[in-house]
Amino acid sequence: MSKVRQIDVVVRAASIASYEDGGLEGVFRLQAQCWDALLLQGFKHFLVEHIRFDNDPQRGHCALSRRLGLDDKILPLWTAFKYLLTESVPNLI
């Protein structure tokens, strides 16, 4: 979070379009070996529904944020996310 907070707020806002318009879908379409645990079932439901909402072309997050525009200034945010994810779940590497 400290790395993210160092990035300009306008760039942080613009980055929303990069992950709400299919970016996070690519990350979270990972296949778990087992979704049997109750907490994992809840997390899976959250992911599936969030991805469905993100991809609604009229009312989804992507439709609301797409006009913010994208450029390479958002790369440090994705790099920080990759670091956070791989440190939290090292088996993803």
Residue 93: predicted pLDDT: 57
On whether the CB atoms of residues 54 and 61 are closer than 8 A, the answer is: yes
| Distance of alpha carbon 5 from alpha carbon 13, whole angstroms | 12
Instruction: Give 14-36 pLDDT, tens digit per residue.
Output: 887 777 766 666 666 655 566 67
Q: How many domains does the chain have?
A: 1
Residue span of the structural domain in which 74 resides: 2-92
pLDDT digits (tens, 9 = 90+) for 67-90: 777 789 888 888 888 888 788 877
pTM for the whole structure: 0.60
